[in-house]
Structure 1
Amino acid sequence: MVDRADTNVSSAMAGSMGGGKVFLHRRAVTIFAMAGCAIDCSEIGLMVTAPEGMSAEEFDRLKQRAYGG
């Protein structure tokens, strides 16, 4: 089974939302959206789901690019 959703995307943004974190958060959401990912927001954070056809490895690389890791 391929894990194609990341329910802890916002974990990198824990703490107060200063200007730097807001910028990084917006950048990450933009990268995910441009890649065709579904983004859902709830009271516990963001859930990003990879589009059909994206492999787990591609999704991992996308997460690394989004958060600079």
Structure 2
Amino acid sequence: MHSQLSLDAYGVTYAHLQDGSLQFESEAALQLDDGSMLTLRMPTRHSEMLAIHEAVCIRQGWCQAA
């Protein structure tokens, strides 16, 4: 049976600190009509990397300004 995509899609970005700098991984999560999820890797947008860097890294004093 073939599942159809619904209109629900989400972008998820994971960030972790490695060797003093943030590393990013992003995925698109698409909900199928049968309720299951399809996840696809995608590039992390530069603006999102900067926003996360500002919110997490610089404010906590963990790393230097980009």
TM-score normalized by the length of structure 2: 0.32
User: Which has the larger strand fraction?
Assistant: 2
Task: From the CA coordinates, give the structure whose radius of gyration is larger.
Answer: 2
User: Which has the larger helix fraction?
Assistant: 1
TM-score normalized by the length of structure 1: 0.31
